């Protein structure tokens, strides 16, 4: 089987493995930067970090993707767009 370059992990899951993501969960937390993370992100150890953990599931409820992203607390802006529901 010849594999072509997928554009993203989600495209790879669909095109190569036939797995479609159905739902996901993200948990947003804060934590101090470890010495390793501080070095990688060019900040001070113990600096506040935003930590986003993601778990995605396929249509049968099986977990298929898990990841953790660390963001410097001094270089992130969260935007929430809110709208009223139509009834």
CATH code, domain carrying 43: 3.40.1410.10
Tokens of 53: 């953990």
From first to last of its 87 residues, the chain has per-residue pLDDT tens of: 555 665 788 888 888 889 999 999 999 999 999 999 999 999 999 999 999 999 999 999 999 999 999 999 999 898 999 999 877
Give a yes or no: residue 68 inside a domain.
yes
Q: What's the CA gap between 76 and 56, in Å, rounded?
A: 23
Q: What's the CA gap between 30 and 75, in Å, rounded?
A: 14
pTM summary value: 0.74
Q: How many domains does the chain have?
A: 1
Give a yes or no: residue 53 inside a domain.
yes
Q: What's the CA gap between 46 and 19, in Å, rounded?
A: 39
Give a yes or no: residue 43 inside a domain.
yes
Give a yes or no: residue 29 inside a domain.
yes
Query: 29: part of which helix (H) or strand (E)?
Result: strand 21-32
76's CB contacts (< 8 A; 6+ apart) are: 50
Tokens of 4: 């072509």
Instruction: Identify the residue whose tokens are 């953790």.
Output: 68
Give a yes or no: residue 12 inside a domain.
no
Give a yes or no: residue 14 inside a domain.
no
What is the span of the domain harbouring residue 46? Answer: 21-75
């Amino acid at each position: 089987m010849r594999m072509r370059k997928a554009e993203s992990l989600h495209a790879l899951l669909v095109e190569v493995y036939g797995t479609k993501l159905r739902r996901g969960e993200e948990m947003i937390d804060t934590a101090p930067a470890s010495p390793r993370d501080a070095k990688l992100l060019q900040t001070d150890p113990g600096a506040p970090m935003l930590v986003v953990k993601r778990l995605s599931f396929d249509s049968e409820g099986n977990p298929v993707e898990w990841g953790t992203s660390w963001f410097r607390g001094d270089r992130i802006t969260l935007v929430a767009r809110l709208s009223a529901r139509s009834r």
